[in-house]
Amino acid sequence: MDEDCLYLNVFTPNIEEGTGQKYPVMVYIHGGDFIHGASNLFPGHIMATFYKVVVVTLNYRLGALGFLSTGDINSPGNYGIQDQAMALQWTYENIEKFNGDRDSITLFGPGAGAASAGLLMVAPQTRNIVTKVIAQSGSAVADWAMIFDRYRVQNTSRVFGKEIGCSIESSWRLVNCLTNSRSALEIGNAEFPPEVGLFPWGPVIEMNVSIPFYEGWYEKNWHFLEESAENLIKNRMFNNGLRYMTGVTLQEAAPFITSNKTLEPNFEINQEFFDQKVWELVLRYNYTLNPNGTFDAIKYMYTYWPDPHNKTMIREKYIQLLTDFLYTAPNDKMVKLLVEQNVPVYMYVLNTTIESFQFPEWRKVPHNIEHYLLSGAPFLDTEMLPAKERFQRTQWTNNDRNMSHFFMKAYTNFARYGNPTHTQILGIHFEECRYGQLKYLNLNTTYNSSIMWNYRQTESAFWTMFIPQLVGRLVPTYPPTTEFWWEPRTPLQIAFWTMSGFCLLLIVLLVLCCMLWRNAKRSKDRYYNPYLYPSDTENEEGIENTRVPEEYPEKFRSQLPRTNSASSFQTVSMKEMQGFVSPSPSTDLPPRKGTPVLQPRNRTKSQTPMLQGVPQTDV
């Protein structure tokens, strides 16, 4: 795996100079849950050659390389979706050199590719470029299509950093470790623990963070979406001529079972496994507002009540549960949003399989099975297919070839005319969805298909309306979090904050020392007593204060208690007398045992006048 993967493949029916005809452009965005996939898995030879369109396939960064976000300036995220936007802008500016029509660009792809197409349809950078979208088993309004919770993106990055052995003390340390200490191969091959969930990576909503500077890049290049796709659609923030086509398969979630090695070889599911997976779903998406109620509601909805312990039916119900939650309900929500805005919408449900694969009944129509039909696999040379899927031409049945022709013709018709069945294809036609009557083409075989309406409305409403009301709102919160990262982002900032903290500590210590000094100074006056006068051998009546009138000493002297001790003081310091002074001492009694008595000392007369023990100074 290499981060340098931004390449395009262009398939065109004619590149001769001077050709006046311009062909519709179809840009394929591969799926893979934003974790795996590549553009070369979709060969566009057959579609371009026989159906006269220009096919563009593109790569974009995946996993942590493409979608790791710390919710701040260190890693804003959205690198993979920005790769797609840049590739789309390049296509718009250069496709005429390949005889493509820049005013007729259709995005199509499965799963994450479909979600990406829906996001590019409303993104400010690309909304005016996209005229049509074909979303195979994916929706831009699915919970996994975009992450809105900053806690979730930060803690997903924490879990990833811990798994790969990087410091997670701060986002700067994490990103620095990934950038300088880990190779792209290590980052690409790192795996999450199972409890993280099915879709750990994905585009993130704009986090309102400062944008890093890179030469040749401007701030506008970093911004992708500041609002949800749902709000942008409601505000008609898309191309005025937009047309939309979408479809799902019968058993979208079957690969989640076949990819679970613990269920091999029979892939049986018991009630314990079912309950465990439902609890994981509840804890990831319910944020514990009402986990028990949500768990019970899901179990009630997806239990086969005629025989609740039937393992075959438990497996089937589990596939239906994930199919509805991840694909059917979000697809239904997107269709209704666009129909309300009077956007022409066409829909199909694929119920038939590729007969050459001989899949068992419980997974005969899995996610992205259209890939083989759209790439023209029944008509391709064997060496152009992946090693595990190199069937001989004799192994493909007539129905496989018919379905492949139907899909390629319907997709290219939609890119050219905005209608998948501009004319009938093998006797089959689509009808446009209407508000209150959501018609769709139910594809069984080319000989047994029909128009039906309102596909799985009860199940879709369960996920888009009932569950959010049951829990308050549907916001993912795994992994559990408590606070955002505190961010020292660069060594210079670390030094700045360290010095700031040191200076603050010095200020606190200085204030504390001043307070202690002030308290110590005040404690000198704490021993004042109006009945005690400091002794002076030359002036036993008190310290002379020449600035005070004569009546003041007499006044204060008259307030003293008339006892023998009032006129016969010993020369004892106030501190030493504290606790030993009797309320009515007598000179006739000998001193108490232990009472310190100091002998008179020669003193010079104080030059500072004092009133009641308080020094008087000139103002």
Residues 6+ away with beta carbon under 8 Å from 502:
none
pLDDT at residue 387, as a whole number: 72
DSSP 8-state code for residue 26? E
DSSP 8-state code for residue 388? G
Q: pLDDT > 90: what percent of the chain?
A: 49
pLDDT at residue 29, as a whole number: 97
Residues 400-458: tens digit of each pLDDT:
999 999 999 999 999 999 999 989 999 899 999 999 899 999 998 777 889 999 999 99
Taking the CB of residue 544, how many other CB atoms lie within 10 A of it? 16
d(CA 580, CA 577): 5
Its pTM stands at: 0.75
pLDDT at residue 154, as a whole number: 87
Beta bridge partners of 609: none
Q: What is the mean pLDDT of residues 303-314?
A: 94
pLDDT at residue 488, as a whole number: 45
d(CA 548, CA 534): 18
Residue of 389 and 519 predicted with greater confidence: 519
Residues 127-178: tens digit of each pLDDT:
999 999 999 999 999 999 999 888 888 888 999 999 889 988 888 999 999 9
Residues 219-278: tens digit of each pLDDT:
566 678 888 999 999 999 999 999 999 999 999 999 999 988 888 888 999 999 999 999
The answer, yes or no, to whether residue 608 has pLDDT greater than 50, is no
pLDDT at residue 619, as a whole number: 40
Q: Which of 136, 80, 129 is nearest to 334 (CA)?
A: 136
Structure tokens at 184: 């792209």
pLDDT at residue 340, as a whole number: 96
Please check whether residue 64 is in contact with residue 160, taking contact to mean a CB–CB distance below 8 angstroms. yes
Residue of 267 and 577 predicted with greater confidence: 267
Residues 52-110: tens digit of each pLDDT:
999 999 999 999 999 999 888 888 889 999 999 999 999 999 999 999 999 999 999 99
Across all residues in the chain, what is the average pLDDT? 81
pLDDT at residue 566, as a whole number: 43
CATH architecture of structural domain 8-158+201-261+325-462: 3-Layer(aba) Sandwich (3.40)
